[in-house]
Amino acid sequence: MLQACRILRRRGFTLIELLVVIAIIAILIGLLLPAVQQAREAARRTQCKNNLKQIALAMHNYADVYRGLPAHGSVYPHRGWGTSILPYLDQANLEGIYDWNYSWYDPANRSARAHQLPIYQCPSAPNPRLVQHPTQSWGPGVGTLPSTGESAASDYMAPRGVLDPTVYQNPNRREGALAQNGARRFAEITDGPTNTILATELAGRPEHWINGRQQPNVPNYYWGGWNWWYWVGPWASYNSVWVKSYTADCNGRWEQRVINCNNSDGIYSFHPGAANAALVDGSVRGLNENIDKGVLYGLLTSQEGEVIGEY
């Protein structure tokens, strides 16, 4: 009987053995977590590229109908390129509630502009976001946007061009692929469709981000009575800026840094080390955040005749 009892006895874990097992599990988790995070970011970056691909295809379909790319911004009524290509993004229902007789910020389009569109939002950026508009005048004859107005934000913009007085003189800006208030034909993009950016990331609005850090306040930019910050953030608005360069700390301007520095007037993404861009030919490329300023300017302008090397 005593022998049987001895056989049935089982030895449990000691405290030291338990701590060793816990330590091994913690080490394994620590090794696996960065790999899991990298895999997730790779998936988000792929989805972002797909968003830009669909945007580029929609612009091409628009051009097939109207014989030119959509305007980066149209006036009276005001609307941006993001609104113009709705019919070519399988957004027939949203197009149906958008009133083309009124500007995007008009109360008649409040429900439409507040609609979150995943194709206009990068999954790596903080989402979803609504731009809360302050009460302000939107220019002579345009009216006042009530403080209760709100619009769904976009993480993509179509560059209006480049503004840099250290590079371009009289005028100090050069046009991008899209025109103002009219359709630009592909033949007018003389730099070539493979050398010109059509749309790229400008993520994080309406929050202000500098070098990966959210700022406590947004810039107080006014132009013609309009707060520009709220004008270009929503997907239904212009979403088109004059791209500028920044200093090493991303607070000053007109130096070398041009990507992932400041989402005020620069290409900005939440992808480590890069930002995505769609070219006029419909391809999508990742732009290294250390790209040379001159090379990026050559890609952003459409009629300057620059020779673009590897980037």
Q: Where are the domains of the chain?
A: 37-300
- The whole-angstrom separation of Cα 194 and Cα 158 is 16
Query: In this predicted model, what pLDDT tens digit does every residue of 141-160 receive, in sequence order?
Result: 455 554 457 899 999 999 99
Contact 268, 201 (CB under 8 A): yes
Q: Write the burial class of residue 156 (CB in 10 Å: 0-12 exposed, 13-18 middle, 19+ buried).
A: buried
Per residue, the 3-state secondary structure of 195-240, as one string, reads HCEEEEEECCCCCCEECCEECCCCCCCEECCEEHHHHCCECCCCCC
Q: In the predicted model, what is the mean pLDDT of residues 6-30?
A: 71
pTM for the full predicted model = 0.86
The model's confidence at residue 307, banded by pLDDT at 50, 70 and 90, is: confident
pLDDT attached to residue 182? 85
The model's confidence at residue 10, banded by pLDDT at 50, 70 and 90, is: low
- The whole-angstrom separation of Cα 202 and Cα 236 is 15
pLDDT attached to residue 227? 65
Q: In the predicted model, what is the mean pLDDT of residues 91-97?
A: 93
Query: In this predicted model, what pLDDT tens digit does every residue of 47-89 receive, in sequence order?
Result: 999 999 999 999 999 999 999 999 998 888 888 999 999 999 9
